[in-house]
Amino acid sequence: MKLDAVVAGVGMTRFAKHPDKGLKELGREAVELAIADAGLGLADLEAAYVGNCAAGLVTGQESVRGQVILHPMGVGKIPIVNVENACASGSTALLHAAIMVSTGLADVVLALGVEKLTHPDKMRSFAALAGAMDVDELNAMVADLAASSAGAEGGAGRDRSLFMDVYAIAARDHMRRYGTTKEQFAMVAAKNAFHGSLNPRAQLRDALTVEQVLADRPIVEPLTRAMCSPIGDGGAAAVLVSGRKARALGIARPVRVTTSVMHSGWTRRDDEPDTVALCASEAYEEAGIGPADVSVVELHDASAPAEILSYEALGLCAPGDGGALVASGATRLGGRIPVNTSGGLLRKGHPVGATGIAQIVELTEQLQGRAGARQVAGARVGLAQNGGGKKGNDAAAMLVTILRT
């Protein structure tokens, strides 16, 4: 969808395990940072879209999560829309906020993503993630995953997210088809660990070598722990304004949300593009650009193999060349097309409802030249790819969003 929304301000918490903070505290911190960054007040908000995935199962808060989070800040009366769309909840909230200002229905709209995923009972967190699959099919799916992951330590959904087994199957298939190596998956994790070490808001900040990634605790072949995104908590927010409001505010170098394309999973044929490729091709066409025009990418690396698969689906390289692309250094800071300069989900963390907007925070700061040690020189175009859930043989929800200065 072609859009014309300006990112007036962004803010996010540090992503981490926050045992002393709930949804209200995490949401407040992100919103207040974004509002201050925009030079506005809470009273300027005309609507809010609040993305959250798992609160119902993890904290018990259902139905009115956005109202519960925003009310203590004094935000009420305005339309508050709750958005639940698996790991794509935040980016879906951003899409609808952008639609509202692009169509002239409002001048100032908040997009907030917030998640409290950690819990003393880790099984509750895993159950919340499993809920992003068809629960009627879940028992059969667990059995299939167990059979395909024979020899793995522990069990799918018991000591790890079911999605790690899904990613492991995709990784092994890519290795068989294209000769991709476990070392190349480890290169993704090591690259993102380097980027994350430069990001003060990242959940994991230690730099890792490829050898350290490979030597980490095995999860399910070929994944080690460092190749899997951690469970955590956090909030991220963006204040979107219309073009006329941006001019009134005197925003000198506006970052615009120009395009956001969303598709849902279906049972696709092997010769059909997946949701990432479909979203990307439509987003490039709507924006009038190609992959070579993108300066920096934040993509959904819930596992290291997912990043390599996304390189190919986004057109950053040819099918089968994702392993070679990361090995070349092209996706590292200083390379041709830096990917996940924030550290990505692997190191920045993945509090699922907040992830999509956290990508927008990183890209906005990159395009405004304020990413500090992570800055990509001359960044003008940013691309975010965020998806979640599973239905059919694809993600249940997928979005590709393009930002430009």
> Element (H or E) spanning 271, and its range?
none
Asked if 350 is an active-site residue, the reply is yes
Q: The dihedral of CA 57, 60, 64, 70: what is its sign?
A: negative
Give the residue among 11, 14, 15 at the shortest CA–CA distance from 34: 11
**Residue 218 amino acid letter:** P
HSE-CB for 136 with a 13 A CA cutoff: 2
DSSP state of 6: E
The token duo for 372 is 């500090």
Measured CA to CA, the distance from residue 220 to residue 100 in angstroms comes to 43
The token duo for 349 is 């963390």
Place of tokens 């924006």: 287
Of 53, 87, 228, 317, catalytic: 87
Measured CA to CA, the distance from residue 224 to residue 213 in angstroms comes to 7
DSSP state of 373: G
Give the residue among 348, 349, 359, 346 at the shortest CA–CA distance from 386: 359
Q: End-to-end alpha-carbon separation of the chain, Å? A: 18
Asked if 228 is an active-site residue, the reply is no
Peptide bond into 338 cis (omega under 30): no
Beta-bridge partner residues of 398: 263, 387
Q: What is the DSSP string of 60-125?
A: ---S-HHHHHHGGGT--SS-EEEE-BTBTHHHHHHHHHHHHHHTTS-SEEEEEEEEE---SSHHHH
Beta-strand relationship, 381-388 and 255-264: unpaired
Of 18, 119, 174, 350, catalytic: 350
Which residues are catalytic, by number?
87, 350
